[in-house]
Amino acid sequence: RGERQRCLKREWTCNPMTIFNVFTLMGGIAMFLYGMDLMGKALEQTAGSKLQGILSTMTSSPIRALLLGVAVTAVIQSSGATTVMAVGFVNSGLMELHQAIGVIMGANIGTTVTGWLLSLSGLEGESFITKMLNPNAWSPILGFIGIWLYMVGKDRKRGVGKILLGFAILMAGMNTMSNAMSPLADEPWFMNLFLSFSNPVLGVIAGAVLTAVLQSSSAAVGILQALTSTGAVTYSAAVPIIMGQNIGTTVTALISSAGANKNAKRTAFVHLYFNVIGTIIFLCGFYGLHALIRFSFFNATANTFGIAMVHTIFNIVTTAILLPFNRLLEKLAIMTVPDSPADKKQENSLLDDRLLATPSVAVARAMLTGGDMAEICRTSLLQAMSTTHKWNDAIADEVERKEDAVDHYEDVLGTYLVKLSAKHLSTEDNRTINTLLHTIGDFERVSDHAVNLIKTAEEIRDKSIQFSEEALGDLGVLEAAVQDIVNRTVDAFQKGDVYAAGKIEPLEQVVDGLVREVKTRHIARLQAGVCTIEYGFVLDDLLTNYERIADHCSNIAVAMIEVAADKFDTHEYLATVKHGGSVKFEQRYEKYRGRYTFPPETYAEMQPVSAPCNAEEDA
């Protein structure tokens, strides 16, 4: 009679395991993994470039690195993704190896959040509060809200919808797995299988293999929690399996480090050694204490809450023990991946393909790289301008080297942005990519003009051309305006400041006017016999380069403004601001024009410009 009541209460446990249960189990695993992947990627995308800012500004403090590793992994729900990002940052030179160690330790703790969320599904009780704490009660409504936001929302709301939808699918998959595996409770072979996992070595191997296949320790722990519904999982079997799962998750980082520089490979090995050493220490301590005091729960049936607890205790205890020895872990990794002559020539990668797995982080990294490229262009141009007044061989060589570096930046960025464009990106990330695609070519041209200025300066040196005081005064005003527009453009680009970009075009108009006025004043000086014809040829080269540089600054600013407005029509924008009667444009133009004025002429009264002088100037 008792058996019949048990069957009536839990009818599904009285049915034998069939092929249909296997099909259901496979479907449950698929939903669970897809839900976890969807939720993690949506969380990561919603967090956006903040992940880049968090991870790439690590300090030398291991505690800070640890806490940030916990925070980032708790957000994206994947210790593997955090570790791969750390490998990518180390490979790019954004993070030192000792900083990555703290992040890795924190990632192991942060990944336990998923287990705690899933453990709530095991809550039982008749009270309203208890039922509401169980995710099975409110995950369906979250799924409904999520699909509604996903279908009708945009940008951030759509991302929130994917997070809710992913969680609902994850919980549905968890329940499906539990129901499909429940008949295994009556299968002797299944019970014997988990009894064999009580052997620590077999349990660790089983957990490591499962996690290596799934590429996610959170998913592996979730499946183990689902298995607790069979009643076959005891703590003696669960503990070594969980230890193995933490070892298995290191496979992701080891694979991602293939082809990376030596420090990136060392980062992956630190992750491996941390979990292997932690597993050995924890298992020795656990079984040693059990031999002394005999844990009462050792052979008890585990539940979802207990699995989450073991997972968390392991990671916290291991981190507490090994954090003070982080430098020893670093030395161990260096011994595993020693320095070699080939490694000494290896440079950090500007943009690491490993970051493409986290598109929002990759976009932020690409923008930082674009900012570095812009800074090189600025310093190169300022250095080149200085040589037109006083020649310096070292500065000239430096400008040439920087031009080669900028060319390399443009090639690498262009290729990387094409790869990024194929990823699923937020609207903001798409705008960032479009801005970069429309501006890196103009920055590269600015660098080319810096080289042109070097060639002009070399001609001035070789021909011993002397400028008159009046000519130097005119060039000083024009060069100040050119430096101003370049500085404003680079600053606006690096900060993503569209408002500041709106101030570039009026200044570009001022530069164009200054160029025309310098030409006019030079012709007048030629007529007066103050300047030489040789200076006229050199001056024309300088003016052409300065005017082109201002044009490229204008192109960069217009690209920023138009992309931010989700359109791109340069001619329409310029026509609107120049001829549309914009009061703000006119005010800015007059302000800049008043700032850059030429000194009064000091030479004899000008004569009308003759035809031969015009011919020389045209030449």
Reported as a single tens digit per residue, the pLDDT across 415-462 is 999 998 888 787 888 889 999 999 999 999 999 999 999 999 998 888
Mean pLDDT to the nearest integer, 516-538: 75
Q: Which position has the higher pLDDT, 224 or 49?
A: 224
What pTM did the predictor assign?
Answer: 0.67
Two tokens at 24? 């259901």
Res 557: pLDDT: 92
Q: Is residue 348 a contact partner of residue 91, using CB atoms and an 8 Å limit?
A: yes
Reported as a single tens digit per residue, the pLDDT across 219-228 is 788 888 888 8
**Residue 105 backbone dihedrals phi, psi, to 5 degrees:** -65, -40
Distance CA 458, CA 466 (A): 13
Helix (H) or strand (E) segment spanning residue 548:
helix 533-564
Quick one: CA dihedral 191, 193, 197, 198, positive or negative?
A: positive
Residue 7: pLDDT band (50, 70, 90) is very low
CA distances to 41, 115, 120, 290, 410 from 219, rounded to whole Å, are 14, 9, 16, 29, 40
Q: Which position has the higher pLDDT, 197 or 304?
A: 304
Distance CA 404, CA 355 (A): 25
Q: What is the per-residue DSSP string for 262-283?
A: HHHHHHHHHHHHHHHHHHHHHH
Res 376: pLDDT: 95
Two tokens at 384? 């080149």
Q: Is 54 exposed, middle or buried (0-12, 13-18, 19+ CB in 10 A)?
A: middle
Two tokens at 441? 């070519």
Of 181-190, 227-236, 282-291, 352-361, the one with minimum mean pLDDT is 181-190
Res 224: pLDDT: 86
Enumerate the β-bridge partners of residue 349.
none
Of 107-116, 245-254, 549-558, 600-609, the one with minimum mean pLDDT is 600-609
Reported as a single tens digit per residue, the pLDDT across 51-96 is 555 655 555 577 888 888 888 787 666 777 778 777 777 876 767 7
Distance CA 123, CA 129 (A): 11
State whether residue 7 is helix, strand or coil.
helix
CA distances to 424, 435, 619 from 446, rounded to whole Å, are 32, 17, 25
Res 548: pLDDT: 95
Distance CA 250, CA 272 (A): 5
Q: Which position has the higher pLDDT, 571 or 158?
A: 158
Radius of gyration of the chain (CA): 33
Residue 110: pLDDT band (50, 70, 90) is confident
**For 233, what's the count of Cα atoms within 13 Å in the CB-facing half-sphere?**
24
Distance CA 384, CA 452 (A): 9
Res 570: pLDDT: 63
Inform me whether the pLDDT recorded for 466 exceeds 70.
yes
Distance CA 331, CA 333 (A): 5
Distance CA 42, CA 188 (A): 42
> pLDDT exceeding 70 applies to what percent of the chain?
81
Of 268-282, 342-356, 357-371, 591-605, the one with minimum mean pLDDT is 342-356
Average pLDDT over the chain, rounded to whole?
Answer: 81
Res 479: pLDDT: 93
Reported as a single tens digit per residue, the pLDDT across 144-188 is 998 998 888 777 788 888 888 988 888 888 788 878 877 766 667
Owner of token pair 């007529």: 527
